[in-house]
Amino acid sequence: MARLELDHLVKKYASGYAIQDVSLDVADGEMVCLLGPSGCGKTTTLRVIGGFITPDQGDVRIDGRSILRLPPERRPTAMVFQRYTLWPHMDVWHNVAFGLELRHRPRKEIEKAVQQALELVGLPGAEKRHPAQLSGGQQQRVALARALVLEPRILLLDEPFSNLDAQLRIHMREELTAIQRRVGITSVFVTHDQEEALSIADRIAVMRAGVIEQVATPSELYARPATRFVATFIGSMNVIDGRVDAAGSVVAGPFRLALPPGVGLSEGQPLVIGIRPEDLILEGPNGTGTPAQVTQVTDLGHYHRVSVDLPEVGSVTVFTDKSHGASLGRATLRPRRVLFYRDDRLIGVTEPEQVPSRS
Ligand SMILES: Nc1ncnc2c1ncn2[C@@H]1O[C@H](COP(=O)(O)OP(=O)(O)OP(=O)(O)O)[C@@H](O)[C@H]1O
Ligand SMILES: [Mg+2]
């Protein structure tokens, strides 16, 4: 096992920064996901760790020692690439054994390791087959076996399941998590799929335009997104422009809300509020909230997604329990938990008991 530290990494190309000042600590045996939209610098970060790209600035340390001077094959890392790259002319056995042969390990040891790695990814008996004779999912598993067989202290995975169908993807995700926990490898997993990140990561680093915006556990990230970008990137979020009024409350559309404790803003200051769809309480027309209009109800199995027209705001999204039975037409709406953003940064949260209902 190993602790990984990324210290102020910078990589710039003629077209601009691929990564800008990326710092991240990954604990022993931890699985951290790099999550972000296409082009935000995820692969670049991973390749810097693996030694395939030299950063312009910054350092990569494992257990406190810089590995920047080591070539990829001498780093205690193994990488599963974004486009899985098995050698088509080699059978599965040779594909998996390649890294160990390169390291001149004894034949007996290689045989044992390859067999173990193939068992680990659920492909025993596939040794003699060629990549072209395998399904996409099987090829990705061979790619994973090829990385695991090196017994890396740090496993780097670049969207390793991107080409799989939804079901196989979930299956592989569970397999990987089980392997990772059993073997205890420190891992960095790149994905742009938030559900994937939320389901496998101990912590998630959300990246945008070459910068890490927030690093947190999945539940913390969901409950307290630190920036407006993270708030809208993870899950769904209703975002409403607001302003501080003369009484020191926040007026956002038809809502009038107390500022969170400890937050002092002066009259007229603009801010933005964020409310998760499950934190909007939808009630009948005689409820205590703001009058609103239900325009659409979509049955999503265990819950309803409801579109509600809110005066001055437009359409917002509400999730309701199925038993709640939302119906089209007049209703009332009130927020239960509200996030406050100023200059796109989280300044406070009002938890349910702090949101006064409208009189
Ligand atoms: N060799 C290169 N030369 C010039 N620009 C590059 C190079 N490699 C990456 N970039 C740019 O750096 C930025 C980050 O690229 P990177 O591959 O790290 O993104 P990514 O987050 O992995 O995206 P994706 O989700 O699409 O794989 C992009 O804008 C990309 O165009
Ligand atoms: Mg990439």
pLDDT of 178 higher than 70: yes
With cut-offs at 50, 70 and 90, classify the pLDDT of residue 66. very high
Least confident of 45-59, 225-239, 299-313: 299-313
Distance between CA 277 and CA 355 in Å, rounded? 16
pLDDT of 354 higher than 70: no
Q: What DSSP line would sit under 160-198, residue for residue? A: TTTTS-HHHHHHHHHHHHHHHHHHT-EEEEEES-HHHHH
Query: pLDDT tens, 200-237?
Result: 999 999 999 999 999 999 999 999 999 999 999 999 99
Q: Decide: pTM greater than 0.85.
A: yes
Is 39 a pocket residue for ligand 1 (Cβ < 6 Å)? yes
Instruction: Identify any residues that bridge with 272 across adjacent strands, giving them in sequence order.
Output: 241, 341
Can you give the pLDDT at residue 359? 41
For the segment 176-190, the average pLDDT, to the nearest whole number, is 89
Name the residue among 206, 144, 221, 187 with its Cα closest to residue 30: 187
Which 8-state DSSP code applies to residue 278? G
Distance between CA 83 and CA 162 in Å, rounded? 9
Distance between CA 30 and CA 124 in Å, rounded? 27
For the segment 12-39, the average pLDDT, to the nearest whole number, is 96
For the segment 170-175, the average pLDDT, to the nearest whole number, is 85
Total residues belonging to the chain: 359
Q: Nearest residue CA, atom 19 of ligand 1?
A: 39
Q: Nearest residue CA, atom 5 of ligand 1?
A: 13
Separation of 122 CA from ligand 2 center, angstroms?
A: 26
Is 192 a pocket residue for ligand 1 (Cβ < 6 Å)? yes
Distance between CA 50 and CA 37 in Å, rounded? 21
| Best residue among 13, 159, 189 to mutate for probing ligand 1, ranked by most atoms within 8 Å of CB | 13
Is 40 a pocket residue for ligand 1 (Cβ < 6 Å)? yes
Q: Nearest residue CA, atom 24 of ligand 1?
A: 38
**% of the chain at pLDDT higher than 70:** 97
Q: Nearest residue CA, atom 10 of ligand 1?
A: 18
For the segment 283-298, the average pLDDT, to the nearest whole number, is 93
C-alpha separations of 158 from 97, 144, 171 in Å: 21, 11, 17
Is 18 a pocket residue for ligand 1 (Cβ < 6 Å)? yes
Separation of 150 CA from ligand 1 center, angstroms?
A: 27
What are the tokens at 322?
Answer: 């199925």
Q: Nearest residue CA, atom 17 of ligand 1?
A: 43
Query: pLDDT tens, 86-107?
Result: 899 999 999 999 989 988 899 9
Structural contact between residues 258 and 350, judged by C-beta atoms closer than 8 angstroms: yes
Can you give the pLDDT at residue 356? 53
Burial of 290 (0-12, 13-18, 19+ CB in 10 A): buried
What is the CA 161 to chain-centroid distance, rounded? 14
With cut-offs at 50, 70 and 90, classify the pLDDT of residue 53. very high
Highest mean pLDDT, choosing among 40-44, 124-128, 189-193: 40-44
Separation of 190 CA from ligand 2 center, angstroms?
A: 8
In sequence order, which residues have a C-beta less than 8 Å from that of residue 49 and are 6 or more positions away? 4, 6, 60, 77, 154, 156, 188
Structural contact between residues 333 and 239, judged by C-beta atoms closer than 8 angstroms: no
Query: pLDDT tens, 312-331?
Result: 999 999 999 877 777 899 99
Distance between CA 231 and CA 253 in Å, rounded? 19
Can you give the pLDDT at residue 111? 95
H-assigned helices in the chain = 42-50, 92-102, 107-120, 136-148, 166-183, 194-200, 218-223, 228-233
Q: What DSSP line would sit under 244-275, residue for residue? A: E-TTSEEEETTEEEEPPTT----TT-EEEEEE
Amino acid at 170: I
Separation of 18 CA from ligand 1 center, angstroms?
A: 6
Ligand 1 atom nearest to 37, measured from its CA? 25
In sequence order, which residues have a C-beta less than 8 Å from that of residue 285 and are 6 or more positions away? 291, 329, 330, 331, 332
Is 13 a pocket residue for ligand 1 (Cβ < 6 Å)? yes
Rounded mean pLDDT of the chain?
Answer: 91
Ligand 1 atom nearest to 47, measured from its CA? 18
Distance between CA 30 and CA 218 in Å, rounded? 13
pLDDT of 136 higher than 90: no
Name the residue among 140, 358, 145 with its Cα closest to residue 258: 358
Structural contact between residues 308 and 318, judged by C-beta atoms closer than 8 angstroms: yes
Structural contact between residues 213 and 44, judged by C-beta atoms closer than 8 angstroms: no
Ligand 1 atom nearest to 19, measured from its CA? 14
Higher pLDDT, 111 or 173: 111
Distance between CA 250 and CA 272 in Å, rounded? 9
| Best residue among 9, 43, 207 to mutate for probing ligand 1, ranked by most atoms within 8 Å of CB | 43
Is 238 a pocket residue for ligand 1 (Cβ < 6 Å)? no
Query: pLDDT tens, 265-286?
Result: 888 999 999 999 999 999 999 9
Q: Nearest residue CA, atom 30 of ligand 1?
A: 39
The crossing angle, in degrees rounded to 10, of helices 166-183 and 136-148 is: 10
Higher pLDDT, 77 or 171: 77
Separation of 304 CA from ligand 2 center, angstroms?
A: 34
Ligand 1 atom nearest to 40, measured from its CA? 21
Ligand 1 atom nearest to 44, measured from its CA? 18
Is 42 a pocket residue for ligand 1 (Cβ < 6 Å)? yes
Separation of 160 CA from ligand 2 center, angstroms?
A: 11
